[in-house]
């Protein structure tokens, strides 16, 4: 999970906790603190600062609205912001998850860590090889 993903997921988790009524004082404070740090880094970016007023509950929407500003402003590499986002995720119980899958025999494909969603094709028959590939 990239630092931008961590930040937008934390923003969504903080907003979701508030909307659902599950926000503790610690979550509310961590959410407000994260937004304040981001707002600080968005100096001179009034449209992006305005987007921070929203309480969006989907990381993808946060990503679409402020993802580029997080990148361009340097917020995505600011250790204070990333640490605040990780703490908010911890408090909200939304830790980024990992999954380990063991594959018996690998005939085709990639091996190693994947940093994005992965889709598995479980067909038993492969599509025919094109004549040019033979």
**What percentage of the chain carries pLDDT values higher than 90?**
46
From the list 112, 115, 85, the residue with the least C-alpha distance to 7 is: 85
| Cα 107 to Cα 83: distance, rounded to the nearest angstrom | 40
95 Cβ contact partners less than 8 Å away, ≥ 6 residues apart: 89
Helix-, strand-, coil-residue percentages of the chain, each rounded to 5: 55, 0, 45
- In this structure, is residue 64 part of a structural domain? yes
How many independent structural domains does the chain possess? Answer: 1
Give the model's pLDDT for residue 85.
95
- In this structure, is residue 46 part of a structural domain? yes
- In this structure, is residue 124 part of a structural domain? no
17 Cβ contact partners less than 8 Å away, ≥ 6 residues apart: 23, 24, 27, 28, 31, 92
The answer to whether residue 9 scores a pLDDT higher than 70 is yes
Q: Is 111 helix (H, G, I), strand (E, B) or coil?
A: coil
- In this structure, is residue 37 part of a structural domain? yes
- In this structure, is residue 113 part of a structural domain? no
The domain of 71 spans: 3-92
Tens-place pLDDT, residues 52-75: 988 887 888 888 899 999 999 999
- In this structure, is residue 11 part of a structural domain? yes
- In this structure, is residue 133 part of a structural domain? no
- In this structure, is residue 42 part of a structural domain? yes
Number of Cβ atoms within 10 Å of the Cβ of 63: 19
């Amino acid at each position: 999970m990239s630092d931008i993903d961590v930040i937008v997921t934390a923003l969504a988790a903080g907003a979701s906790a508030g909307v659902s009524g599950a926000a503790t004082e610690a979550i509310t404070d961590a959410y407000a603190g994260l937004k304040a740090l981001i707002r600080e880094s968005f100096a001179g970016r009034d449209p992006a600062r305005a987007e921070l007023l929203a309480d969006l509950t989907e990381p993808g929407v946060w990503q679409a609205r402020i993802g580029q500003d997080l990148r361009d402003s340097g917020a995505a590499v600011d250790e204070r912001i990333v640490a605040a986002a990780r703490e908010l995720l911890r408090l909200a119980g939304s830790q980024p998850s990992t999954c380990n899958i063991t594959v018996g025999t690998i005939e085709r494909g990639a091996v190693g860590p994947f940093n994005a969603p992965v889709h598995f094709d479980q067909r038993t028959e492969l599509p025919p090889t094109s004549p040019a590939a033979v």
